[in-house]
Every structure is written in structure tokens, then in C-alpha cells.
Amino acid sequence: MNKLVNLVEKIRRWYRKIKFQTRVTLLINVLIFIIFIALSIYFHFMTSQNIREEIGNKALAVAESLATSPSIIEAFDEENPTASIQDYTNKVQQKIDAQFIVVGDRNEIRIAHPIPNRIGKKMVGDDNERALEKGESYTSLKEGSIGLSIRGKAPIIKDGEIVGVVSVGYLLDEVNRLVWKQYVPILILLFIFLVIGIFGSYLIARHLKHILHKMEPEEIASLLLQREAILESAKEGIIAVDSDNKITLMNISAMHILQLDAKMIGKPLEEVVSLPLLRYATEEIPPEDMEYMLNNEPVLLNVMPLKKGHELYGAVATFRKKTDLEKVTKELTSIKQYSEGLRAQTHEFSNKIHTLYGLLQLEQYDEAKQFIKDLNDTSITYYPSLDEQIKDPIIQALLIAKYNIANEKGISFELEENSHLDKITNDKIRDVMLVTLGNLIDNAFAAVLSKDTPYVLLHITDVGTNLIIEIDDNGEGIPEMIIDRIFEDGVTTKDPAQHGKGLYIVKQSVHSVKGEIIIDESDLGGARFIVFLPKKGEHK
């Protein structure tokens, strides 16, 4: 038993190691061989059955014909019936190619037999009862004195009385030779089909291997698991359709964005969402980061056609909520602003350290002390009482960074004396305020750089139900031709390749909390931006 188990385990290990093409060929060949064996047995059985039945019917017909022959019936009145019956049956036997024709009397004593020395002896086989006692004609398969044979039995009736029996037989060996003679062509045909099947199985396995890009089933299963993991981990929504525009794939993010479930897979895309995916896929340049409305949700859409050669067999759409990307953009903008402030502060601090180090090397200690004193006085003047006016540490840090940038660029940047801001407890409002202050101050700095005495004035107050930000500059202002479009994506008074995003982001951020932004002419001669942010910070 253990040996059998070990053998089976060895076969399993061997089977797992063989290549997919070999495995398919082997399985198909085993199947074909099993079918070949089954058909061979079936056809041999049917051929043997039919021929035996045919031989039996032939033997029975000859036996009935001889039993009713007047020559044989009348011979029973003779004193020596063997003389006339033996000659007659020998001639008939030669004509029908039978192995024997035996005629017996009422007591089963042979009157005629192909072997003369057996005449006068009792018939062998014990299968004459139905003919001699019941008068029936029938066929039987019995072992006689010549051998196992198929026999046709018929009673000899004279004047209504059974007087003997006729037995016509064909030896089973001769019948089997006849069966094989008839079966050989069928066997040859089956063998030809077997060869064709084996060759065909090789071609099928080779074709399957080509369709599967020469990958093994284990590799395909691994790729499938990887694909599922990638799809479910992707934050973007992913939908795939076939050439009939039926959904074949939809990940969890897509279901969440479109508020659907897995039951929608297999249904036409137009029944689920309004998206002409196949039409986009046939365009010369499919959409990339195209703004599109899916179920009243603004998304950035990308379309990838699925082609094999020039034939389109489907398409894939990836999309992500625009608001998610805007949130990331805002965070990056804030980080950029912090980075710029720190860079300016570091640069300025480095210059002052180098100056102080030079004074110390020259042993100009009094000048070094005075330089440090001047720096302290400048710092107090330059960062006017931020601790008293601006209580929120993050906003305070941003303004310090902007002071440093302004100092580096030679811009006079001031915070109005009556400005006031308590600590902000709403994180959303703080984020919007950081984005707004950072972009508007940077724009104001850029607008005044060409002036001899660049000046930017900031006013912040949280009196009432709103946070109010006012930024004035003495720049050239905003041209009338673009003032109505200044908050659109890409519109700018500067180089469009480098700018045009800041005010667009500010507007999106302000509107996200139901705030408002206004542009006006400044008393300083440039532009004035006024921003109202509700303290509750409601979302749209």
C-alpha cells in the first residue's frame, strides 16, 4: 500500500514539473487513447455480436430447410437412411461452408455426420431436447465432438410426429476468424484517427501556449493574484470594458466613486455610467488627465485602448476625484511656501554669520557687538509684535517666512497695527488660510519687484463671523482684459509656462469652505485682494 502511495506521489511531482504544452498534449493523448480503447472494444463486441447472430440465423435457416426436405423425411422410411441422407448433407455442407451437418434420430443417434466413423453414435452437446420433445427450432452455443460451435437446430417431423433432428454448425474459431476479418478495417480506421488525434493534440497545445503568451498556468495564476492586489490597492478608479462595451473589470475605488457594487460587472457600461469609453479609445490621442463629470463628481480621466494589432478588443479608464488632487496640490503649495521661507531665512542668516565671523577674525570686537545689537533691533523692527497680533503659531511661522523672503528681495512688507488673529481651531480653515496667504503674498511680491520702493501691506482680522484677509500692493495692478478671468486655470499676468495656478487654487480653496474673494484697486496704486472665510468652515 505504501509503495502505491509513493508511486502516486512521484507521478504527481513529475506532473507538476512538466511544461504546460507537454501537460496538455499528454492529457489529450490519454483521453484519445481511452476513447480509442473504448471504441475498439465496442466495435469488436458489436462486430462479433452481429456476425455470430448472422451465422446463427444462417445455420438455423439451413437446419429448417433440411428438416423439411422430402429427401430426408422419406429416408427415415428406409432400412438404411444413412446411405441417402449422408450424401445429401455432405453436398449441402460444402455449399454453405458449414463445419458440420448432423442428422440424428428420435434417440439422438447420428444418422449422418461429416466424420463417417461417428455415425451410429449418440450426438454430443445435450442441446437437442427442445427440438425432439417440443418441436422447436433454435440456435445454441455448445461444445460438440468437433469443438465449440454455433448450432442451428430443427426437428424432423413426419406425419405429425417428431422422428429426428437436424443440427447445422459453425465452429467458434472459424466465426472468430471471420469477426477479425471484418474488424481489421475498422481497427485500421480507428488507429488512423488515433494518430490524427495525437498530432492534433500537439497542435492544440502549441496554439494554447501561444495564446497564453508562452506562460505556465502557475505564472498566470500568480499574475492574476498580483493584478487583483494592484487593482484593489490603487486609489484611482479603474473600469475596463470589452469590444461590446460590457464591463469586465471594476476595482473598489471605482465602485466607491460611482457608488456601485460588483453586480454591475458584465452589464453594458451605458447602463451604469455615462461615459463613451470605446469612442474615446478609438481617438488618435486618447484623453489624458481630462476633466470629466462622472455621476456629478468632477474627475480627471485617462483612457487606454486595449488593442491587438489594429483590432480594438476593449478599453480601460482610470479616474480620480479632482478634489483629492486639489488637496494634494494645496499641501504641496504650503510645503513650497515653507521651503522658500526657510531657504530665504537660511541664506540671510548665513550671510550674517559670515559677516560676524569676519569681524571676529579681524578682532573687531566692538564692531561685532554693535553688529549683533543692530541685528536684534532689526529683527524686532522686522517682525512687528507677531506674538501679540497673530496668536496662531502656524500662520505666524508663515508670515515670518514671508518677512524673510521680502527682506531678501528688498520689499517692504508690513502687517497693519490693528490686525488680529486668534488661534484657529478648524484645521480646514487653517489649511485654506495658509494656501490663500501664501499665494496672494507671493503674487503681491511678484507685482512690486519692478518698483523703486516695493511695498506690500497685509491686514488680518477675525472680528465677527468671518476671517478677513486684505492684501494691498503698489504694483501695476491687474489689466482690465483679464480681470474677469484672473481666477481661471492658466490665466496670469506673468509667464504662462511658469504661472497661472496660484489664484485658481486660491479660489478653489476659498469656495470649498463657502468663502468669498474680491479684487479691487488698492489705495497704494496696485491691486487689493479681500478674502472672507467663515469661521465655521462649512464644506460645499
Instruction: Give 177-195 pLDDT, tens digit per residue.
Output: 877 887 788 888 888 888 8
- Supply φ then ψ for residue 524, to 5 degrees: -80, -10
Strands (E), 370-473: 412-415, 455-461, 466-473
Query: For residue 78, is pLDDT > 70?
Result: yes
Distance of alpha carbon 391 from the chain centroid: 56
The answer to whether 247 touches 239, Cβ cutoff 8 Å, is yes
Tell me the pLDDT of the chain averaged across its residues: 81
The answer to whether 203 touches 29, Cβ cutoff 8 Å, is no
CA distances 60 to 29, 166, 171, Å, are: 46, 10, 14
Average pLDDT over residues 323-346: 63
For residues 89 and 324, the model is more confident at 89
Q: What is the pLDDT of residue 174?
A: 79
Query: For residue 384, is pLDDT > 80?
Result: no
Average pLDDT over residues 89-108: 88
Average pLDDT over residues 153-167: 90
pLDDT tens, residue by residue, 23-56: 778 888 888 888 888 888 888 888 888 888 888 8
What structural domains and CATH numbers belong to the chain? 13-214 (3.30.450.20), 235-317 (3.30.450.20), 383-534 (3.30.565.10)
Strands 412-415 and 455-461: parallel
pLDDT tens, residue by residue, 487-514: 776 565 555 444 446 788 888 888 888 8
Query: For residue 484, is pLDDT > 50?
Result: yes
Q: What is the pLDDT of residue 344?
A: 58
Give dist(CA 207, CA 201) in Å, integer: 10
Query: For residue 7, is pLDDT > 90?
Result: no
Question: Quick one: cell of 283?
Answer: 481617438
For residues 497 and 69, the model is more confident at 69
Q: What is the pLDDT of residue 25?
A: 80
83-87, 333-337, 405-409, 410-414: range with highest mean pLDDT: 410-414
Average pLDDT over residues 310-333: 75
For residues 271 and 303, the model is more confident at 303
Q: What is the pLDDT of residue 539?
A: 44
- Close Cβ partners of 433 (under 8 Å, ≥ 6 residues apart): 395, 424, 467, 469, 533
CA neighbours within 13 Å on the CB side: how many for 29? Answer: 12
Q: How confident is the model at residue 15 (pLDDT cuts 50, 70, 90)?
A: low
- Supply φ then ψ for residue 98, to 5 degrees: -80, 155
The burial class, CB within 10 Å (0-12 / 13-18 / 19+), for 448 is: buried
Q: What is the pLDDT of residue 137?
A: 92
Distance of alpha carbon 187 from the chain centroid: 45
Q: What is the pLDDT of residue 538?
A: 47
Q: In what order do the strands lie in the sheet with 297-308?
A: 247-250, 237-242, 311-321, 297-308, 290-294
pLDDT tens, residue by residue, 111-144: 898 888 888 888 887 888 888 888 899 998 888 7
Give dist(CA 401, CA 394) in Å, integer: 11
Q: How confident is the model at residue 301 (pLDDT cuts 50, 70, 90)?
A: confident
Q: What is the pLDDT of residue 16?
A: 67
Q: What is the pLDDT of residue 537?
A: 56
Express the helix, strand and coil content of the chain in percent, nearest 5 each. 55, 20, 25
CA distances 344 to 387, 404, 411, 436, Å, are: 21, 6, 13, 20
Map grid coordinates 528688498 to a residue: 410
For residues 348 and 211, the model is more confident at 211
CA distances 533 to 98, 211, 268, Å, are: 118, 61, 45
As separate numbers, helices (DSSP H) first and strands (DSSP E) second, the chain gives 16, 15
Burial code (b: 16+ CB inside 10 Å, e: under 16) for 412-424 equals ebbbeeebebeeb
Q: How confident is the model at residue 471 (pLDDT cuts 50, 70, 90)?
A: very high
Return the minimum-mean-pLDDT range out of 136-150, 151-165, 200-214, 262-276.
Answer: 200-214
Question: Quick one: cell of 184?
Answer: 481489421
Closest listed residue to residue 265, CA positions, set 241, 244, 281, 243 = 241
The answer to whether 500 touches 489, Cβ cutoff 8 Å, is yes
Give dist(CA 265, CA 526) in Å, integer: 58
Q: What is the pLDDT of residue 260?
A: 81
Strands 516-521 and 466-473: unpaired
Share of the chain above pLDDT 90, in %: 10
Return the minimum-mean-pLDDT range out of 228-237, 285-294, 487-496, 517-526.
Answer: 487-496
Q: What is the DSSP letter of 114?
A: S
Closest listed residue to residue 149, CA positions, set 87, 106, 101 = 101
CA distances 291 to 14, 140, 294, 303, Å, are: 55, 92, 10, 12
- Supply φ then ψ for residue 536, to 5 degrees: -75, -25
The answer to whether 281 touches 243, Cβ cutoff 8 Å, is no
Q: What is the pLDDT of residue 500?
A: 47
Average pLDDT over residues 280-289: 85
